Amino acid sequence: MKKPNLTVVNNPWQELRQFTDARIALGRSGVSLPTSAQLAFQLAHARARDAVHLRLDVKALTNSLRDADPDVHCIVVSSAAGNRDTYLQRPDLGRRLNAASRTMLLELHQSHPPHESYDLSIVIADGLSALAIAQNAQPFLDALMAKLAPDNLSLAPLTIVQQGRVAIGDEVGEIFNAKMVVILIGERPGLSSPDSMGLYLTWAPRVGLTDESRNCISNVRPAGLSYEEAAVKLHYLLTQALRRQLSGILLKDETGAAAGLTPPPERNFLLEKR
């Protein structure tokens, strides 16, 4: 009887794996994946599941934020999704504050001088990866605040939302009568990125807006978009949103063009030279 060939056959493109976390050029053992690749896949899947179900350590996050800036005013609220299971099955509840949280924010805002408004409200939400927020929120805010310092914007109290989805930032911004809201949120984990944080900007936030009203900067983490690069892009969008009074599909990230990284429209390679 002929013995099976247990030798792993390397893929000729294997050297390209140094440039990406994507599962390419894994090789084969017979007609199957090599054991090491199969185990790596299972480990990545387990890490993604853990990230989805991990509870945000709010105390550790607020302590970290206050250590970085003793004057920061942090408020912790919750969405209408009472627990993680409900959050995962009812996205609509994750987009709205629960009654107690909404009342608390309204009373807080009404305790300030009448008609007080803010330029910017910053919201942090666990989303689908509390791990992403735990690892990336503080260092990113450090980079962003350094960019915002010369602008002298008025900031609403920093709000941390448990069991929150992207749209809940609009409700917080509306309550604070903020011109703009930015929400930092844990993204849905991929099989090589359980720690990816997303940023969403909305001009004139209010309940009921949809994704076309928001600008998104994705994959903010050490292995993705660096904190400094993300802060530069968000600062550009904030500046332009404030100047043009719009966001979403009407506002484009042109930081690459400003740095000379993309050709101007008149140099479109699809157009023939005349």
Q: Which residue has the higher pLDDT, 16 or 113?
A: 16
- Cα within 13 Å of Cα(109), Cβ side: 22
The reply, when asked if residue 15 is annotated as ligand binding, is no
Q: 193-220: per-residue pLDDT in tens?
A: 899 999 999 999 999 999 999 999 999 9
DSSP string, 192-237: TBTT-EEEEEEES--TT--GGGEEEEEEESTTSB-HHHHHHHHHHH
Query: Would you place residue 66 in the very low, low, confident or very high pLDDT band (cuts 50, 70, 90)?
Result: very high
Neighbours of 198 (CB within 10 A): 22
Q: What angle do CA 219, 145, 197 make, to 5 degrees?
A: 15
Closest CA to 16 of 5, 27, 28, 25: 25
Domain ranges of the chain: 56-244
Q: Say how many C-beta atoms besides its own lie within 10 A of residue 248's C-beta.
A: 18
Asked if 106 contacts 171 with a C-beta cutoff of 8 angstroms, the reply is no
CB atoms inside a 10 Å sphere around CB 252: 10
Residue found by looking up tokens 């949103």 in the block: 241
Q: Is 31 annotated as a binding residue?
A: no
Dist CA 119 CA 135 (whole Å): 27
pLDDT recorded at residue 40:
92
Q: Are 146 and 235 in contact (CB under 8 A)?
A: no
At what angle are helices 99-110 and 168-175 packed, to 10 degrees?
30
Q: Is 74 annotated in some ligand binding site?
A: no
Instruction: Given CATH 3.30.70.2500, say whether it is the number of domain 56-244.
Output: no
Residue type, 144: L
Tell me the pLDDT of the chain averaged across its residues. Answer: 91
- Residue where the block lists tokens 């930032």: 169
Cβ atoms of 168 and 79 within 8 Å: the answer is yes
- Rounded CA-CA distance 35/32 in Å is 9
pLDDT in tens, 128-185: 999 999 999 999 999 999 999 999 999 999 999 999 999 999 999 999 999 999 999 9
Which runs of consecutive H residues, i.e. helices, occur in the chain?
35-53, 58-68, 84-89, 91-94, 99-110, 130-148, 168-175, 227-244, 255-258
> Residue 234's Cα: distance from chain center in Å?
11
Structure tokens at 189: 């984990």
pTM given for the model: 0.87
Has residue 270 got a pLDDT over 70?
A: no
